[in-house]
Structure 1
Amino acid sequence: MGETIPIAVPRKGRPLEAVLDRLAGLAGAEELADGVISTLRHEKAITKGDLEPETDVYRRLADYSSSSEGPDYTLLRDDREGFPRRIVFDSAEIPLEGERRIRLIGREEPFRALRTHEFALGFDSADLVLEEVVELGAGPVERIADLNARIDPTETDVRVAGGLGDTVYHTLMVTPETAPEAAPIDRAFLASYEGPLCIVPRYERLVRAVLGKRVLDGISFRYPEHGREEEAAIAAHGAGVYLTVTGSTARDHGLVLGEELFPSETVLLENAAERRSSPAVEAVRNLIAPAPAETELVV
């Protein structure tokens, strides 16, 4: 019997959907991908209170995971009010050509599972790499391709192998009163700006890496109050950085969008030490590695 190669993946959300869309082109994976995505979107709507469930969460979990062919799901506590139980992805197998298979295994933070050598391959948000291991420098990190150059090889064996192109951006946004006259709202503006910059606390290290130490002189970070919408908090402080897809919510709060500072994207990660130890892992890595045309990544 052929080898089964485990791959760590997120349990829910846009990054998992990006992974499933990528793997849907592999033999027999289209139906699996569509089924998992539709199931998790349905369960998200129930958790948010947008849908009323017909059965309790344990019955739904049993129904979803009843097939011996998978996929399997599990329960986690959501962080919404009341901490409801939420059904999330657990695992699934995808057969490849020959007798080789890959097994997708859900993890809360796949990057950390690769750091501890539990997996040779995994998918996670590029943001987490910035938040965890990328060194802070005087200059900015502007592209996903810059990540590997800023990872200390004594800190981790994990590297970014490619991106999936599910790109949203950490975007600079300001109020009209803060915006410069007849000049771009970009890093150069921030280099001369002195005052508050509102960010989500978990992104502080990411923003420091993306902007670089030189730009941060004279800037003081501020954070949204608990329960307050991020764009509303940025509008109150005059300037900030937050994720945007279309920017419509930011504009609704009277904000002007500036430079897209860094792409937030799902990336293929590899633990180089583990990958080199297995020809099978190397073959699977080459099969699923994203093509350059599909991503912001340039390596």
Structure 2
Amino acid sequence: MTAPVRVAVPRKGRPLEAVLDRLAARADATTLADDVASTLRYEKALTKDEQSDDRGVYERLAAYSDPSDPHRPDYTLLRDARAGKPRRIVFDSLTLDLDGTPVQLVGREEPFRALRTHEFALGFDSADLVLEEVVQLRPEPLSTIADLNDRIDPHDTDVRVVSGLGDTVHHTLLATPTAQQAVGAPALDREFVVDYEGDVCISPRYERLVEAVLGTDATEGVSFVYPDPDREEEAGIADVGVGVYLTVTGSTAREYGLDVGERLFPSETVLMENQCEAEGDAVETVKRELADSAPETAIPPQ
């Protein structure tokens, strides 16, 4: 039997669902993909006490998994970061047939780092992690997924972005009308930040990401601060006056009196390859089948 091409994927959340949607379309696996997504949503609801189940976590794990059948989803347990550190059921592995090539999806907490350490040739993870870990900071802003590879130092990592999956939400510039009036800029965009000096409220650990998408010239005179962990991020930004946060519609931001400005960068799941490991016809076939052909997310080969 041909050895499967192993692909690192997130263990839970929106990025994993985006990968499953892509595989469902390519591998005629809609039922399997829906089963994994619904199981993990249910387990998340149990962890957040939004659902109840008389079965213990090990009973549920045994009901969901069948390690003897690689073509059925397999799950595993992790400690959740929530209060009490409850055990949470997350995705572990699944083998599918993709255009005649067996593909094994393998759950990892940090797929991007698993590719960086040469454990996999292919993997999916959030573009945010690429910005946070390996893109070079430059005076000019980074605004598209297609420009990511140009900012990756080849001496730093062999990983490159192949394409985005289109499950897009945006890092968006937000500000109160008072903050905008103080600057006097005609629009709430990157040029506004160039003229602004003071605090900018962002999510913790996103400093490099925000610097990359705004550009280092624009962030001169800016100090990053973080919202209170017990409050919504939009509330913290409203207190500070200016911030950057992920938005879909911006409705919550507007509820806190914030104006929704420029969409700075798309936060979406991306297919990546480790160029040193991505060898052979099978890997190339899988990469071709999984890559997005849409011009806004496809990235020219290097």
Aligned equivalent of 1:138? 139
Aligned equivalent of 1:106? 107
Aligned equivalent of 2:259? 256
Letter in 2 for 1:50: E
Question: Is the CA contact 1:7–1:119 (under 8 Å) kept in the aligned structure 2?
Answer: yes
How far, CA to CA, are the matches of 1:27 and 1:21 in structure 2?
10
The structure 1 residue matched to 2:275, chosen from 255, 272, 275, is: 272
Tell me which moved more, 109-118 or 64-73. 64-73
Question: Is the CA contact 1:8–1:105 (under 8 Å) kept in the aligned structure 2?
Answer: yes
Question: Is the CA contact 1:3–1:280 (under 8 Å) kept in the aligned structure 2?
Answer: no
How far, CA to CA, are the matches of 1:117 and 1:289 in structure 2?
20
Letter in 1 for 2:220: D
Aligned equivalent of 2:85? 83
Q: TM-score scaled by structure 2?
A: 0.94
How far, CA to CA, are the matches of 1:296 and 1:285 in structure 2?
15
Aligned equivalent of 1:246? 249
Tell me which moved more, 22-31 or 41-50. 22-31
Question: How many Å apart are 1:18 and its aligned residue?
Answer: 0.3
Q: What are the equivalent positions in structure 2 for 1:185-224 lying under 5 Å apart?
A: 185-224=188-227
SS in 2 for 1:270: strand
SS in 2 for 1:170: strand
Question: Is the CA contact 1:263–1:296 (under 8 Å) kept in the aligned structure 2?
Answer: no
Question: Is the CA contact 1:143–1:297 (under 8 Å) kept in the aligned structure 2?
Answer: no
How far, CA to CA, are the matches of 1:285 and 1:241 in structure 2?
33
Q: TM-score scaled by structure 1?
A: 0.95
How far, CA to CA, are the matches of 1:182 and 1:289 in structure 2?
40
Question: How many Å apart are 1:279 and its aligned residue?
Answer: 2.1
Q: 2:101 aligned with 1:94, yes or no?
A: no
| CA RMSD, 1 decimal | 1.4
Residues 211, 33 of structure 1: alpha-carbon distance in 2 compared, 3 angstrom cutoff: same
Q: 2:258 aligned with 1:237, yes or no?
A: no
SS in 1 for 2:277: helix
Question: How many Å apart are 1:298 and its aligned residue?
Answer: 5.1
Aligned equivalent of 2:22? 22
1:119-176 residue CA offsets vs partner (Å, 9 max, x unmatched): 0000000000000100111111111111100000011110000000000000000012
How far, CA to CA, are the matches of 2:229 and 2:291 in structure 1?
39
**How many residues end up aligned between the 2 structures?**
296
Q: 2:4 aligned with 1:4, yes or no?
A: yes
How far, CA to CA, are the matches of 1:45 and 1:122 in structure 2?
27
How far, CA to CA, are the matches of 2:297 and 2:103 in structure 1?
26
How far, CA to CA, are the matches of 2:127 and 2:169 in structure 1?
11
Aligned equivalent of 1:150? 151
SS in 2 for 1:95: strand
Question: Is the CA contact 2:185–2:191 (under 8 Å) kept in the aligned structure 1?
Answer: no
SS in 2 for 1:226: coil
1:9-44 residue CA offsets vs partner (Å, 9 max, x unmatched): 000000000000001023341111010001011111
Aligned equivalent of 1:168? 169
Aligned equivalent of 2:52? 52
Question: How many Å apart are 1:245 and its aligned residue?
Answer: 1.2
SS in 2 for 1:36: helix
1:203-242 residue CA offsets vs partner (Å, 9 max, x unmatched): 1110011111100111111111232221111111000001
1:45-94 residue CA offsets vs partner (Å, 9 max, x unmatched): 11111111131111001100037232100111111121111111000000
Question: Is the CA contact 2:118–2:274 (under 8 Å) kept in the aligned structure 1?
Answer: yes
How far, CA to CA, are the matches of 2:173 and 2:84 in structure 1?
33
Letter in 1 for 2:271: L
SS in 2 for 1:39: helix
Question: How many Å apart are 1:97 and its aligned residue?
Answer: 3.3
1:251-299 residue CA offsets vs partner (Å, 9 max, x unmatched): 1111111000000010000011111x32211121112111225x54554
How far, CA to CA, are the matches of 1:193 and 1:96 in structure 2?
51
Question: Is the CA contact 2:115–2:274 (under 8 Å) kept in the aligned structure 1?
Answer: yes
Question: How many Å apart are 1:200 and its aligned residue?
Answer: 1.0
Question: Is the CA contact 1:71–1:91 (under 8 Å) kept in the aligned structure 2?
Answer: yes
SS in 2 for 1:243: strand
SS in 1 for 2:218: coil
Aligned equivalent of 1:290? 292
Question: How many Å apart are 1:3 and its aligned residue?
Answer: 2.9
SS in 2 for 1:292: coil
Question: Is the CA contact 2:291–2:298 (under 8 Å) kept in the aligned structure 1?
Answer: no
How far, CA to CA, are the matches of 2:298 and 2:169 in structure 1?
13
Question: How many Å apart are 1:182 and its aligned residue?
Answer: 7.3
Query: How many percent of aligned residue pairs carry the same amino acid?
Result: 61
